[in-house]
Amino acid sequence: MPAAETATGRADSTAAERQIPPPWSLLMELSHRCPLRCPYCSNPETLVRRAAELTTADWLRVLDQAAGLGIHHIHFSGGEPLVRDDLEALVARAAGLGLYGNLITAGTLLDRDRLAALAGAGLDHVQISLQDTDAGSADLIAGLPGAFEAKLRAAALVREAGLPLTLNAVVHRRNIDRVAELIALAERLDAARIEIAHVQYYGWALRNIDALMPAIDQVERAMAVVEEARVRLKGRLTIDAVVPDYYARRPKPCLGGWGRHGMMVTPSGRVLPCHAAESIPGLQFPHVTANGLAEIWQSDPAFRRFRGTDWMEEPCRSCPAKEVDFGGCRCQAMAIAGRAEATDPACALSPHHGWLRQRAERAASGGDRPYAYRSFAGGKAGA
């Protein structure tokens, strides 16, 4: 039944839509500023400048709205969230609202005093990115000399402070053969969890696909190492890992499905269902200062556009896995197939699946290529 028109002319939600469970988590991208220049950066190609970032008051209202909506987890991210002088105030507000606060950081700006202040404000968890286990390679990938040693110091401080630690290791052709060493490093650092996160080829990472794409035999060896370690370290270290989309036969449920489990707010205040959603033309995403999170979650057209399964075309519409993968990634369909409604090319049923595999194999055979680094003038703290 079509939604009824309200006095404002805006379509009201149906009863079923009003009963959509609240998202579990909110990713707050506090800033795009970052001291690293990673060639696989997941942030958009056009970065938000400091002058356009939300104010402290704006972010505090976001936290209040998140708690009111029923969100449980807050991820303080970026860029690098530690460039924000108000991070402690935001953590304290989240803690006061009973929200679980997770800091997602490169770690290079984290020192003992800053960590003590954040822990005192009520921070619950820290996630630190790793580029490799070899210092020279790690610093080359990060585009910052000394980054690897700074990350190790930060990880040690986190455990010294009694906070749980997750390591996020983005893997690709240059470091995937050291997955065993990455897991061993997580053990030595007393991490509770490690994410073996294959590069996702959107935005800046797509520019570097020929320098980053691993070969299929590298992926298979790495996954065998992960499976062995999962058995050996069960109960001691949680290991998350997913096969890269370019070598998959079935799509992943992107963030559990479009607009189903999480939402994010960009540094400038746009509210999105996923990182790359703005790459889909024709979708207008709301601004958090104009629309409340609850209204956006329940009734915003962009959030509803690919939610559930009614939007699907064949072969997705009749696929028995449609409520498992929810069609996979709309942004990848847009980037490769040219239509956000198309079957995710990661699926073997997509007419673009063969091209995707061929593109991966061609990229993986390219040998050592120089990275095209990101640059954000003044990204260490200013601009």
Task: Provide the annotated binding site for [4Fe-4S] cluster.
Answer: 34, 38, 41
Peptide bond into 79 cis (omega under 30): yes
Contact 36, 108 (CB under 8 A): yes
User: From CA 238, how far away is CA 93, in angstroms rounded?
Assistant: 29
Which sign, positive or negative, has the C-alpha torsion 352, 357, 358, 359?
positive
User: Between vectors from CA 243 to CA 238 and to CA 247, what angle results, nearest 5°?
Assistant: 175
Distance of CA 12 to the CA centre of its chain: 31
Query: Which pairing describes strands 25-29 and 73-77: parallel, antiparallel, or unpaired?
Result: parallel
Angle at 377 between CA 376 and CA 378, to 5 degrees: 110
As a whole number of angstroms, the distance between CA 227 and CA 221 comes to 10
Number of residues that make up the chain: 383
Asked if 190 and 159 touch (Cβ cutoff 8 Å), the reply is: yes
Residue list, annotated binding site? 34, 38, 41
DSSP 132-201: -SSHHHHHHHHTSTTHHHHHHHHHHHHHHTT--EEEEEEE-TTTGGGHHHHHHHHHHTT-SEEEEEEPP-
Residue 63: helix, strand or coil by DSSP? helix
Q: How many Cβ atoms are within 10 Å of 309's Cβ, its own excluded?
A: 14
Helix, strand, coil % over all residues of the chain, rounded to 5: 40, 15, 50
- For the record, the structure tokens of 274 come out as 């996923």
Q: How many CA atoms lie less than 13 Å away from 139 in the CB half-sphere? A: 10
50 DSSP assignment: G
